[in-house]
Structure 1
């Protein structure tokens, strides 16, 4: 995962956790606007989420944050 996407994922997770608490769930779509303005980054996130880690559609933001920080 490129650093730009890592930074974005961590920022989104931090924001969601701050807003809704440590048990908030999210999908990789949370990292993007409602319109597909960066298809390459969207595919990178989808590949990391679905193909590489075989995560469920919704996962805890804290789990995703820790995975990204760990370099997974």
Structure 2
């Protein structure tokens, strides 16, 4: 995982957890704007989420944060 994506995921997870609590769920789309201006980064996130970890569409932000921190 590229450092840019790792930072982005951790920032979004922290923000969502702070706003909605530790039970909040997210998908990998949460890391991107509605108009995706970084398709390569989106594909990297999708590959990591779907192929590498076979995660469900929505997962707990705390789980994703832990996975990313342990890379």
Q: Same fold (TM over 0.5)?
A: yes
Aligned alpha-carbon RMSD (Å): 0.3
Q: Deviations over 1:25-60 (max 9, x none)?
A: 000000000111100000000000000000000000
Secondary structure of the structure 2 residue equivalent to 1:33? coil
How many Å separate the matches in 1 of 2:67 and 2:3? Answer: 14
2:58 aligned partner: 58
Q: Deviation above 2 Å: which 4+ runs of structure 1?
A: none
Aligned residue pairs, count = 71
Matches for 1:1-72 after TM superposition, within 5 Å: 1-71=1-71
**Structure 2, unpaired ranges of 5+:** none
**Structure 1, unpaired ranges of 5+:** none
